[in-house]
Chains A and B, each alone.
Chain A
Amino acid sequence: MRTPLIKAVVFLGIVSVLVWAVADIYARLSEKTVLYRYISDALNQREMAVARVEWRPAGRLLDRPFTEADAAQVEKVLDQAWASLTFAQQTGNIDVLSDAFTGVALERAEQSAVDAIGHGGVLAVLHSSAKPVFFHRDASILQLEVDTYAVRMLIEQGALSHHQVTLDSNIITFLNGGYGWRISNLERLDAVVPEYQSAEVGQPARAGLNYYPAATPWTQFWRDYEPGTVEDDLVRIRDLGADSIRVFLTYDAFIDPEATELSVNHLRHLLDAARQNGLSVVPTLFDLKPDFSPVTWVEDARYLDTVMPILAEAPSVAYIDLKNEADLDFETHGQAKILGWLTTIRAYLRETAPELGATIGWSSAEWASQLETELEVISYHDYAPLDDARNRLDAVKAGSGGKPVAVTEIGYTSFDALRGFPGSPETQAEQLAVHIEALTDADGVFVWTLYDFANIDTAAIGRSPWRRQIQSSFGLLDSFGNEKPAARVVREAFRKID
């Protein structure tokens, strides 16, 4: 009786390994290296378009009036200069520099790219503010005082050895030789390291749920947002005894020019609906962001410029989760780069919303201490063996410097493939009860997730049928909204949390 079962399991295992191997080979064959000549080819049009220059009035009479048309032309060159400089330092491709730099500045830019490739440094400018100080009568020479929000990062031997954010004052000289404006001189006059106060953590978020509607998880959430559905779901969340929700601000939904306005309105609605239901919100930023290269950071700054004013003014926001499970991107993008990016984002967030505290939702306790000094809340996800849950929490709390520690994802699948494997509704309930009990001393526990998902988002989960089945069944409610045994358990557990 057992033999057929064993054979079936072995067969399934072999098939799974073969499928994985083929997928891996296919992915490797799809990689290729492309050398770009023009920065506009190397970066997609969205990355080229989002950089921003704020213009300040000249304040004195110039030899030639500096018009809006002039500003529009120069702004493009300035944005292109920063982008191409970062790109050249990342890739060593110096051909792109000559479209924005000339003369001495071009030589120095090329040298900086050589140094960057050789020693691991990179400069990214996230924001510029410019004031014309000289404009030649025939429009052949222009000088600007340009203040920049500049990030310098040094990665040595695969580790982030230096990260510095400065507010730089620069003097930039442009020449217009008939081929358009080019930067002929770029000199930094001063660099100030901004000082920040630690932020306060907002409303308590002790007992929470990770939330997507049943029909529209992940990338579908903001695209197919239904206010009525969200309002009903928040009522159910409240009924389960939760005092907070964790939501995900998908990257594309808040950076794509066509989608952003609608997404912003939906975000406002969600925050207000949460407030009306007495729920705190932990917004998780940059979800499903595909690339962390410094050349993309200017776009990330624009993303923050879009969402942070809304989050900062919403009384329901408890604190910000900078990135979901950033450590899972270490292998693909490099740990040092990811940490550099996170530090940059945290710093920029302090500029745009200094009153909001932040955390990073690490995928496991192992990474919880990363960047601890930059955060107001320490958080991690706990999908490790249940037996050591309390020990893991204790270890993280010991290293948190007294900061609140939240476990922002715990969960178990109720998918029963075969006689309780890999899970079942009953074991899900049992495990959640034990887990929440083990995390009594945490400053917040969030269950993944409110609903089962009938249509799992392959962009987030992948195409593996096995994985999709498992991931579709973590809800406390099934995809029709019926309570599973886990719902009762969580309701009781949350009632004890105060």
Chain B
Amino acid sequence: MVFAAVVWTTCFTVGAARSEDVFTDAFGIVPIGSVSSDRLLRSVTQRVSDGSNEASVHIFVGPKSLEAGGDNGLATAVVLDAQGSLVPDGTEVTFFLDGQEIGTIQTRYGIATVPLAPGSVAVGFSVGAVAAGGQSQRATYRVTPDVGSLSVGLLPQLKSVSHETLAPFTSGPILDQYGNVVDDGTAASIVLFHDVNHFSYLPTRTVRGNADVSFLVRDVPSFAQVVTNVGSQLSTVRAFNAVPIIFDADLPVRLSVQADLRAMLLEIGPFLTSSGHQLTDGSKVSATISDSAGNSRTFSGWVQDGVFSRSVAFDPRLAPFTLVVEAQKTKFEYFGLEADDYSGGSDN
């Protein structure tokens, strides 16, 4: 029970000070004749609401989200009388969950609490309380899916996709053990394992229960193993197939003399694919050139603007040359190559 805070004291006189009654409370001391009515009123013991003196009820819910099938939350009502002081112990507070009464609890030091069990359905709830003629606002909280029990899938690829096109991947519905769809925005990823040393990591977020992502098939092997990942949950492994790149039959090759470098410029390309596009910049190419004297050298590099070019330190007088080109697991062979602009003159 809260006691009256009015303490009548006898004066402690020093020097010429006169005696006077005083008012004291938790915040200090005031001469009784000077204390404000508000300050005096809040010290009075009778604070129970009589209808004309409504209490104010403040509702708090925590945590703000509970996990389906997980630990309880707590709804707390802090009840103050009309002067803003805590209501007397034993004041009854009735709690409501989505309009349904869930308990009547007595206050202690102005506080009453009721546990909130999350249940198994992931949905939002609102909680309120009434006490001593006052009503709280509604506090909301959510029950979220049980992330630890999510089952994650990966839908199989329907058909092989071509390079330079987008391959779609989708997990399908991601549900917890209670059938709750995972929350939008949950972090997920789809990973393609191309070979031992290479993988493609595709982060995404769930939308409407699915983890979807599109992958541009470019400069990757035509086969991979794919898996979806949400938290610590992994889907089954699926196969991914891309249509191999097929080049047009003709792959132009040109050798030209670079007299000032005492070399020749080898130009191979443009590399045109049957899909109607050039091989993308950065695609790896290797070329092995041999002269008539039996000298041979292998060069590797990459395509730029559809063409592979390289200065090669071979004597044009040692034509004809043999050239073997490899790209995208395709081999091209050329025999009897000569430099286009070689006139047979000696080097300067």
Which residues of the other chain, A, contact B16 by a CB distance below 8 angstroms? 159
Binary A-proximity of B73-88 (CB < 8 A = 1, otherwise 0)? 1101010100011100
- Specify the chain B residue showing the minimal Cβ separation from A116: B28
Expressed in whole angstroms, the minimum distance between the Cβ of A381 and any Cβ of chain B is 21
Please tell me if the beta carbons of A115 and B34 are within 8 angstroms of each other in the complex.
yes
Return the contact of A188 from the options B5, B12, B109 (Cβ within 8 A): B5
Cα A103 to Cα B108 in complex, Å, equals 20
- Specify the chain B residue showing the minimal Cβ separation from A170: B26
Q: Is A475 an interface position by the 8 A CB rule?
A: no
- The B contact surface, by secondary structure, is loop
Which residues of the other chain, B, contact A161 by a CB distance below 8 angstroms? 11-14, 17-20
Which residues of chain B (3-31) have a CB below 8 Å from chain A?
A: 3, 5, 7, 9, 11-20, 22, 24-31
Please tell me if the beta carbons of A154 and B29 are within 8 angstroms of each other in the complex.
yes
Please tell me if the beta carbons of B15 and A160 are within 8 angstroms of each other in the complex.
yes
Return the contact of B80 from the options A154, A159, A162, A185 (Cβ within 8 A): A185
Binary A-proximity of B85-102 (CB < 8 A = 1, otherwise 0)? 110000000000000000
Assuming the contacts A111-B39, A141-B76, A141-B78, asked whether A63 and B113 have C-beta atoms less than 8 A apart, the reply is yes
Expressed in whole angstroms, the minimum distance between the Cβ of A2 and any Cβ of chain B is 48
Please tell me if the beta carbons of B109 and A115 are within 8 angstroms of each other in the complex.
no
Cα A122 to Cα B22 in complex, Å, equals 12
Return the contact of B9 from the options A109, A119, A164 (Cβ within 8 A): A164
Please tell me if the beta carbons of B86 and A173 are within 8 angstroms of each other in the complex.
yes
Q: Is A143 an interface position by the 8 A CB rule?
A: yes
Q: Is B187 an interface position by the 8 A CB rule?
A: no
Please tell me if the beta carbons of B5 and A107 are within 8 angstroms of each other in the complex.
no
Q: Is A118 an interface position by the 8 A CB rule?
A: yes
Please tell me if the beta carbons of B25 and A118 are within 8 angstroms of each other in the complex.
no
Q: Is B259 an interface position by the 8 A CB rule?
A: no
Please tell me if the beta carbons of A119 and B26 are within 8 angstroms of each other in the complex.
no
Which residues of chain A (52-70) have a CB below 8 Å from chain B?
A: 63
Which residues of the other chain, A, contact B63 by a CB distance below 8 angstroms? 137-138
Please tell me if the beta carbons of A133 and B12 are within 8 angstroms of each other in the complex.
no
Which residues of the other chain, B, contact A157 by a CB distance below 8 angstroms? 17
Q: Is B216 an interface position by the 8 A CB rule?
A: no
Please tell me if the beta carbons of B84 and A104 are within 8 angstroms of each other in the complex.
yes
Which residues of chain A (356-414) have a CB below 8 Å from chain B?
A: 370-371
Assuming the contacts A123-B27, A191-B7, asked whether A137 and B62 have C-beta atoms less than 8 A apart, the reply is yes
Please tell me if the beta carbons of B12 and A160 are within 8 angstroms of each other in the complex.
yes
Please tell me if the beta carbons of B7 and A185 are within 8 angstroms of each other in the complex.
no
Assuming the contacts A164-B9, A185-B110, asked whether A159 and B14 have C-beta atoms less than 8 A apart, the reply is yes
Binary A-proximity of B104-115 (CB < 8 A = 1, otherwise 0)? 000011110100
Cα A266 to Cα B64 in complex, Å, equals 57
Please tell me if the beta carbons of B86 and A163 are within 8 angstroms of each other in the complex.
no
Q: Is B347 an interface position by the 8 A CB rule?
A: no
Interface bracket on A: 35 or more
Assuming the contacts A137-B73, A339-B14, asked whether A171 and B38 have C-beta atoms less than 8 A apart, the reply is no
Expressed in whole angstroms, the minimum distance between the Cβ of B28 and any Cβ of chain A is 4
Return the contact of B28 from the options A115, A133, A189 (Cβ within 8 A): A115
Please tell me if the beta carbons of B64 and A138 are within 8 angstroms of each other in the complex.
yes
Expressed in whole angstroms, the minimum distance between the Cβ of A110 and any Cβ of chain B is 10
Which residues of the other chain, B, contact A168 by a CB distance below 8 angstroms? 26
Q: Is A424 an interface position by the 8 A CB rule?
A: no
The count of residues in chain B whose C-beta lies closer than 8 Å to any C-beta of chain A is 47
Please tell me if the beta carbons of B34 and A119 are within 8 angstroms of each other in the complex.
yes
Which residues of the other chain, A, contact B17 by a CB distance below 8 angstroms? 156-157, 159-161
- Specify the chain A residue showing the minimal Cβ separation from B10: A162
Q: Is A496 an interface position by the 8 A CB rule?
A: no
- Specify the chain A residue showing the minimal Cβ separation from B13: A161
Binary B-proximity of A88-111 (CB < 8 A = 1, otherwise 0)? 010000000000000110011101
Cα A188 to Cα B39 in complex, Å, equals 13
Please tell me if the beta carbons of B14 and A118 are within 8 angstroms of each other in the complex.
no
- Specify the chain A residue showing the minimal Cβ separation from B22: A162
- Specify the chain B residue showing the minimal Cβ separation from A134: B111
Which residues of the other chain, B, contact A156 by a CB distance below 8 angstroms? 17, 20, 31
Cα A89 to Cα B64 in complex, Å, equals 39
Please tell me if the beta carbons of A162 and B85 are within 8 angstroms of each other in the complex.
no
Cα A139 to Cα B9 in complex, Å, equals 40
Return the contact of A136 from the options B5, B7, B39, B60 (Cβ within 8 A): B60
Cα A285 to Cα B92 in complex, Å, equals 54
Q: Is B274 an interface position by the 8 A CB rule?
A: no
Assuming the contacts A141-B78, A152-B24, asked whether A162 and B60 have C-beta atoms less than 8 A apart, the reply is no
Please tell me if the beta carbons of B28 and A123 are within 8 angstroms of each other in the complex.
yes
Assuming the contacts A171-B109, A185-B85, asked whether A119 and B60 have C-beta atoms less than 8 A apart, the reply is no
Which residues of the other chain, A, contact B84 by a CB distance below 8 angstroms? 103-104, 107-108, 185
Q: Is B166 an interface position by the 8 A CB rule?
A: no
Binary B-proximity of A338-353 (CB < 8 A = 1, otherwise 0)? 0100010000000000
Expressed in whole angstroms, the minimum distance between the Cβ of A17 and any Cβ of chain B is 33
Which residues of the other chain, A, contact B22 by a CB distance below 8 angstroms? 121, 154, 162, 164
Cα A85 to Cα B18 in complex, Å, equals 27
Which residues of the other chain, B, contact A115 by a CB distance below 8 angstroms? 28, 30, 34-36, 39
Assuming the contacts A115-B30, A115-B34, A186-B26, asked whether A134 and B109 have C-beta atoms less than 8 A apart, the reply is yes
Which residues of the other chain, A, contact B11 by a CB distance below 8 angstroms? 161-162
Expressed in whole angstroms, the minimum distance between the Cβ of A219 and any Cβ of chain B is 31
Expressed in whole angstroms, the minimum distance between the Cβ of A159 and any Cβ of chain B is 4
Assuming the contacts A115-B34, A159-B17, asked whether A143 and B7 have C-beta atoms less than 8 A apart, the reply is no
Cα A237 to Cα B20 in complex, Å, equals 51
- Specify the chain B residue showing the minimal Cβ separation from A161: B17
Q: Is B2 an interface position by the 8 A CB rule?
A: yes
Q: Is A250 an interface position by the 8 A CB rule?
A: no
Which residues of chain B (216-256) have a CB below 8 Å from chain A?
A: none
A-B contact pairs, 13 of them (CB 8 A): A63-B74, A63-B113, A108-B84, A137-B73, A137-B74, A140-B60, A141-B111, A159-B14, A161-B18, A185-B110, A188-B25, A191-B5, A371-B14
Partner-A contacts on B (CB < 8 A): 2-3, 5, 7, 9, 11-20, 22, 24-31, 34-36, 38-39, 42, 60, 62-64, 73-74, 76, 78, 80, 84-86, 108-111, 113
- For the complex of A and B, the 3 pairs showing the least CB-CB separation, nearest first, are A138-B62, A159-B17, A104-B84
- List 14 additional contacts besides A164-B7, A173-B78; criterion CB under 8 Å: A116-B30, A133-B108, A136-B62, A141-B76, A141-B78, A152-B29, A156-B31, A162-B20, A162-B22, A164-B12, A189-B2, A190-B3, A191-B5, A335-B15
Partner-B contacts on A (CB < 8 A): 63, 85, 89, 103-104, 107-109, 111-112, 115-116, 118-119, 121-123, 133-134, 136-141, 143, 152-154, 156-157, 159-164, 166, 168, 170-171, 173, 185-191, 335-336, 339, 343, 370-371
